[in-house]
A and B are shown apart, each in its own frame.
Chain A
């Protein structure tokens, strides 16, 4: 008797701002017009891919003080493109890279919960962190984080968005026309979070989404990055293409996964079924 082969998962990364994207071919399409994204997403869906993926960079790259012009430059807003793609696809997962340094949990949680509602449960979040003042110059928050704090902020950012996603349980909206009762509880979405990075409280205003929360991706490779991924992610992007290196990375992260949940009881307990891609 043979065991059926394990199925692999496939994702499609929209080519854009990096040195592997070929833009010089006359057939190379726009990296900004919606038709390119529509074509890409519908092709991935036709191929039965799990999800598509958008990267992000919040400041144009520079070299020697001038904007770097030899690769593709410019990209659209991640949430906006993914919400629009939800209209022209039915099954494909929609993964967006969103920075945990230059956003606030309340807003990002609203955006992901909304995307999950509007896509029928297809939202996923690749969590990245920044620490550089260079990118910070585009934001009112400004400034930067010491490098050792960026994963700390990312971790607490994620656990805070978790509290927001979980602040609605899914049974609040009854919408009973005859009795006139819309809500089952007078204060849905109540939350309170206090730590060194976020001191927030009140009511979240997006009801619980189909998935409850987006699927979480992470791609960090430093020691802190691996710890963060092990404690927070559902799936990890690995950069290793050689078998032995890849196996070592897998073993290392799996080892961290088995340790971290106890060290991070409030974040995402029992995250042992982590996928490495």
Chain B
């Protein structure tokens, strides 16, 4: 008897008018609405109609540029964006099932603020919040804050030992950052609020905990000003391209977004992340590895190829990506996703090349195709559910409550 097929998880990455730089020029694009609530509401609700696990919202602390290390002065690309965490909060009350995962910069922000913001996103969404962490070693971004200096980065200096040291430090700093965010989420035990009228106590203060983090880059006292969020620990995700990033997400994350170009690379990447997870002493904690793909989907193969060519021509430059760019039909994409799933991925974060077209293809053609093949949900759970539940992740115990219990058993 064949084993039932494992279900795969689907997420979509929302950014501007889509991931192709010429996407905003498509007939159905809404480039004048990129800064409106309605635009983001429509996209997120569309993703929810497709039963997706979650959406991510891109962000950055600099104006977008084609150059990954410095501003450009292009006037033919989408420029300007809204704060991703606020977009996620704005769409939370008008959605019910789908996870909301904003991108947050870890280099220039405060872990205390981020922890309470994501905890609050978890409250307003009733347990559907996540956090995608992203660091920035860009010199120009650091100048926006004026608090630290980074050497100018270029492709040529990337392998320079001093530059590499700065980058590796930033990954370590991000690990500390997530550690603080997570400790703060646990800094209130679930039942800390007692409202005990007899004694006049609103909380049991023994169930609030200082996190007392002291690291190389910062120290944070705690507790959080916000109680423990519904999920206990909202999910933490990161995009990872190389060993140092695999190590970060294996140490602190629940979901890794990776960019393989072949089945063989899937095997290598998943193996490396699992080994790093094990080295971090966390092999018992599930970690999802999602493949990132830029997708152009049409009802027939030739149309998708032609559309890609037309967009590339409009963009007036070679359009590449860190992720594989897939142009074809939803059936062809389903073949590829299932092949890569067999190689070790548990899900995919699809980057629609053009919005809303490619998102609609994902929800209206790809999702039904995957359902027909028995690898994707046909409905959300009927009971209220968290993002962790959609991802099959348990609600974690509170690290401080566990300590208290251990202490009690010794006495």
Contact = CB atoms under 8 A, between A and B. Distances in A.
| A associates with B | yes
B80 A175 contact: no
A39 to B, nearest CB: 13
A107 interface: yes
A137 interface: yes
Contacts of A48: none
A115 B83 CA distance: 8
Nearest to A164: B144
Nearest to A104: B145
A107 B32 CA distance: 24
B201 A33 contact: no
A60 B86 contact: no
Chain B: interface residue count, which band?
35 or more
B121 interface: yes
Contacts of A43: none
B391 interface: no
B37 A81 contact: no
Nearest to B173: A140
A199 B91 CA distance: 35
Query: What size tier do the contact residues of chain A reach?
Result: 35 or more
B261 interface: no
Given A140-B217, A203-B71, A207-B80, 6 more contacts: A69-B202, A87-B93, A114-B87, A117-B82, A137-B221, A186-B73
Contact of A205 (B25, B60, B217, B314): B60
Contacts of A199: 146
A15 B86 CA distance: 23
A142 B202 CA distance: 29
A206 B63 CA distance: 8
A73 B202 CA distance: 7
A137 to B, nearest CB: 4
B110 A139 contact: yes
B388 to A, nearest CB: 19
B83 A111 contact: yes
B78 interface: yes
A198 B82 contact: no
A84 B102 CA distance: 14
B63 A205 contact: yes
Contacts of A272: none
Interface string B323-351: 00000000000000000000000000000
Interface stretch (A177-185, A223-231, A243-251): A177-185
A207 B220 CA distance: 33
B123 interface: yes
A10 interface: no
A132 B89 CA distance: 30
B369 interface: no
B77 interface: yes
Contacts of A67: 203, 205, 208, 223
Contacts of A141: 110, 147
Contacts of B92: 84, 87
B35 to A, nearest CB: 5
Interface of A: 23-24, 28, 32-34, 38, 57-60, 66-67, 69-77, 79-81, 83-84, 86-88, 102-104, 106-107, 110-111, 113-115, 117-120, 137-142, 168, 172-173, 175, 177, 180-189, 198-207
Contacts of B113: 77, 102-103
Nearest to B30: A175
Given A74-B227, A142-B218, A188-B63, A118 B82 contact: yes
Interface string B80-103: 111101110111111000000000
A87 B226 contact: no
B109 interface: yes
Contacts of A76: 116, 119-120, 123-124, 226
Nearest to A70: B200
A35 to B, nearest CB: 10
Given A118-B90, A180-B314, A58 B225 contact: yes
Nearest to A120: B37
B222 A138 contact: yes
B36 interface: yes
Contacts of A107: 61, 108-109, 145
Nearest to A183: B75
B197 interface: yes
B79 A183 contact: yes
A200 B93 contact: no
23 contacts: A24-B195, A28-B195, A58-B112, A59-B221, A67-B223, A69-B201, A69-B204, A73-B203, A79-B83, A81-B89, A83-B87, A84-B92, A86-B90, A88-B93, A111-B86, A115-B86, A117-B37, A118-B37, A118-B87, A139-B112, A139-B220, A175-B32, A188-B63
